[in-house]
Amino acid sequence: MRIICAMLIACVVPLAAGAQVPRDIEAGLKKIGQIVDPACTAKLYRPLMPKNDYSAYWPVGAAAPAKLTESLYPGVSIARDISFGPNPKDLLDIFSSEKGGGNRTVLIYIPGGAGNKIEQQVREANAFYDNIGRWAVKNGMVGVTMQRHPAEKWDDGGRDIARMIQWLQDNITKYKGTPDRMFIWAHSAGNIPLGVYIGHPELQGSKGPGVRGAIFMSGTPVPGLGGAPAPGALQGGGVSCGAGGPASAGGAISGPSAFSEATPRGPAPVAQDNLPGFKLTKVEVLLARAELDPGVQGGMAASDIALHDEMCKAGHCPAMLYLKDESHMSEVFSIDSADKTVSAPILAWIKKVK
């Protein structure tokens, strides 16, 4: 029944012909298999992206000239590397419309891997994650992509998210967004800090969580529920397309990306447990899982189901979204392309949340 419900969520928006995973890409994803392969997945989806990307005019790692940044995507204004905290990597890219007024919904994206807001595995990967910010603008929102950095303490990532959200509450109106309607979306290892943030109200400040909804995609926001992540998720990465390995040494922003969901293998100590906060939260939650995610066998992962059931016991059931034919990386690389398997139901869910 849970899986049926998840599939129904994916059908909330009637998908136009061709909106599903294109057949050639579907074949490529199945060839890659149930592993985490940013480089080869980027090669599949890059032809669906605009001609220009982050590296179109300047070398990787170099500062982007302002006027080129602003004109990279017609109609989209980009404010790059906006500082929100004391760490040099406490940075945001903010995407807004060049036309029209403000008071727009804000969509914040928390990347997985090593936390790069611009994914850097092979040159093709530099098209991502601008695609998510661009998609947000096309759908009447303001897009925000967050740069993550390594944490020393278990709650450091959650505190970074708190600092970032508080900065947006104070400043997002300058970029046509409203602090009264913000959503946050984490992928893979990005689920760890977001799970800490949602699960620990004491981190959220006097204004509360600051977001209406939280999307947890292919990750474990509550460690210890439903078992550990699948082992060997990176084995074979880069092989199917000759990219030379799962993680390039060219990750100039914060080091090579990897499937680094370094969660505890058992229940967290009481003070670190995210579950009580999830049971109490008023934030709407969406749990998403790709069919070709590592360890997935015909439906949502055990950790998704366990969190769903625990939250339902508290009277606050999360939505569940099962993404047929998608993989761990395609589910985010597909955004703002003809493959609307992920973007259509997520957009429908955002619009539905009051």
**pLDDT score of 58 more than 70:** no
Q: Three-state DSSP class for 70?
A: helix
pLDDT at 121 over 60: yes
Q: What average pLDDT does the chain have?
A: 86
Looking at residue 54, its pLDDT comes to 82
The pLDDT tens digits for 136-157 are 999 999 999 999 999 999 999 9
Give the mean model confidence (pLDDT) for residues 111-135: 93
Q: Say if residue 322 is preceded by a cis peptide, omega within 30 of 0.
A: no
% of the chain residues with pLDDT over 90 = 72
Torsion-angle region of residue 51: left (phi > 0), alpha (psi -120 to 50) or beta? alpha
Task: Give the predicted TM-score (pTM) of the model.
Answer: 0.89
- Whether the Cβ atoms of residue 30 and residue 22 lie closer than 8 Å to each other: no
Q: Averaged over 58-67, what is the pLDDT?
A: 55
pLDDT in tens, 9-56: 443 333 333 368 999 999 999 999 999 999 999 999 999 999 888 876
The CATH homologous superfamily for domain 2-57+65-352 is Alpha/Beta hydrolase fold, catalytic domain (3.40.50.1820)
Angle at 137 between CA 201 and CA 198, to 5 degrees: 10
Residue 81 has pLDDT above 80, yes or no: yes
Separation of alpha carbons 180 and 193, rounded Å: 22
The tens digit of pLDDT for each residue in 262-305 reads 444 456 677 899 999 999 999 999 999 999 999 999 899 999 99
The string over 190-209, giving b where at least 16 C-beta atoms fall within 10 Å of a residue's C-beta and e elsewhere, is bbbbbbbbbbbeebbeeeeb
pLDDT band at 333 (very low <50, low <70, confident <90, very high): very high
Per the listing, tokens 């100039």 go with 252
Q: What is the mean pLDDT of residues 194-204?
A: 97
Residue 232 has a pLDDT of: 63
pLDDT tens digits along 221-267: 999 888 666 666 777 888 889 886 544 333 334 333 333 444 444 56
- For 52-70, give the DSSP string: --TTSSS-TTSPPPHHHHH
* Confidence tier at 87 by pLDDT (50, 70, 90): very high
Q: Residues 195-213: what's their mean pLDDT?
A: 96
Task: Give CA separation, 183 vs 110, 145, 165, 251, in Å.
Answer: 11, 12, 10, 27
Confidence of residue 166 (pLDDT cuts 50, 70, 90): very high
